[in-house]
Amino acid sequence: MTDPQALAHRAAETAAGDLKAVADSTAHLLRTVAGLDPADVTGPSALPGWSRGHVLAHLARNADSLVNLMETARTGVDIPQYPSPEAREHGIREGAGRPLDVQLADLRATAERFAACAATLPDEAWTATLHHRTGYTFPAHQVPWKRLMEVEYHHVDLDSGYTPAHWPEPFASAEVARIAGLLSGSEGLPPLLLVAEDTGARTATGRAGGPPELTVEGPVRALAAWLAGRSDGDGLQVHRDGGLVPDARRALPELPPLH
């Protein structure tokens, strides 16, 4: 029988390591936002239909939504991430047009609330089962990583000089493994072998059965960017039947949507 205290301790250790990464990534994000020109906030982001203000408003409201989940873990009382899908969209839409200084203050304040809430969670709370806004369940110790994903991906989406090449290597490596796992067994994706030339990691994904139809090779950050939809394959090479494909971007398969 597994010791509940040992499980809680391991969950808390996992959360603590990820929270350190969140703090570092958030500090970098805040520096980027502080360096923007006030007019930049209304400019387009890399996300279709969203300005940089939309991205910033989403990041702030996401932090608050994850505080709700951590409070659920603490108290056992179910607090949804957002009151409703409509409320989530309203918060992003209404917050998008605020001036840069207001956006920055909100982003900083919500990040501080997130960190403060996480710092006071007892070990056993990190083992609680939570409900994501889309309906699936996950253990509370994954909340910090979910926040890290939001900060790192949307920092890139701001289109303000921060690119996948700036991602911390542990984040990029973990995301290649995570996304490859989500895509594993996907019938719409040929069997792939992902090779990170800088870390040596080799990860299989795609349709099960048979040898890889394609080997996709490149820096781990380039692999993560392609898998996460933040790149069209820049920096990657594709091998088929032992030979290098001349145009890697055309040879890369279309990835199914991630849920």
- Tell me the pLDDT tens digit for each residue of 103-130: 999 999 999 999 999 999 999 999 999 9
Which residues have CB under 8 Å from 107's CB, separation 6+? 29, 30, 33, 56, 59, 60
Q: How many helices (H) and strands (E) does the chain have?
A: 8, 7
Architecture in CATH for domain 4-162: Up-down Bundle (1.20)
Domain 169-251 has CATH 3.90.420.10: no
- Tell me the pLDDT tens digit for each residue of 14-26: 999 999 999 999 9
pTM of the model: 0.96
Do 52 and 41 touch, CB atoms closer than 8 A? yes
Question: How is 74-125 classified by DSSP, letter by letter?
Answer: HHS----SSS-HHHHHHHHHHHTTS-HHHHHHHHHHHHHHHHHHHHT--GGG
Residue 182 confidence (pLDDT): 95
Do 153 and 23 touch, CB atoms closer than 8 A? no
Domain residue limits, the chain: 4-162, 169-251
Look-up: residue for tokens 């009151």?
83
Instruction: Give yes or no for residue 259 having a pLDDT over 70.
Output: no
Residue 4 confidence (pLDDT): 87
Residues in the chain: 259
Share of the chain above pLDDT 70, in %: 99
Which residues have CB under 8 Å from 108's CB, separation 6+? 30
Share of the chain above pLDDT 90, in %: 93
